[in-house]
Amino acid sequence: MDPSLLRERELFKKRALSTPAVEKRPAPSSDSSSSKKKKAKVEQGGSSSSKQSADHSNGSFNLKVLSGGSGYKFGVLAKIVNYMKTRHQRGDTHPLTLEEILDETQHLDIGLKQKQWLMSEALVNNPKIEVVDGKYAFKPKYNLKDKKALLRLLDKHDQRGLGGILLEDIEEGLPNAQKAIKALGDQIIFVNRPDKKKILFYNDKSCQFTVDE
């Protein structure tokens, strides 16, 4: 081989050895980036779930539990008051013990705390319930026994200039109200309000007279 070519080959080798080589790394694929995102989401989800479990153990869900319990308690109270009203309207006006009320409303399975709440707070403070010798009875706005009591009440309202009385208030306090109202006939007058509620007035026949035109 030509000596000049040998020298050029040796110089090429030296230059190649003295030049640093740079290694190119492959660009990250979309799969690896998506896996990282998924991992981050999982970590976030795990942290949130652990936070929720921690909040639960710390009692942050107690409010929801309490609201559900309160809703149940007041539902029982509403059913009791409605039942006491219904039995009063059909003529069963004698008071009942709490156990009798719970039995007739099918709530004997309620807890001791709820019973205590009914006795010490809910029933005694309810405007529609009165306590009679440790028992409970319905307390209507107007406690009427019969049609004569209704007529006296309407007459008294008329004399005092108080006007009429709502039909629903009379039905609430007078057992078998519709029967009594029908029996009074033209001694009372019905007037319909714009909101479609009916009002009863005493029909004072002494005020009925003819006026000359």
Q: Check residue 159 and give its pLDDT.
A: 85
Architecture of the domain made up of 72-138: Orthogonal Bundle (1.10)
Every domain of the chain and the residues it spans:
72-138, 147-207
pLDDT at 129 over 90: yes
Q: How far apart are CA 77 and CA 73, in angstroms?
A: 6
Q: Check residue 71 and give its pLDDT.
A: 83
Q: How far apart are CA 189 and CA 203, in angstroms?
A: 6
**Model pLDDT for residues 6-59, shown as the tens digit of each residue:** 666 676 666 666 655 555 555 555 555 555 555 555 445 444 444 444 444 444
Strand partners, 190: 200
Task: Give the pTM.
Answer: 0.56
Alpha-carbon separation of residue 8 from 2, 11, 20, 49, 174 (angstroms): 10, 5, 20, 71, 127
Q: How far apart are CA 168 and CA 184, in angstroms?
A: 17
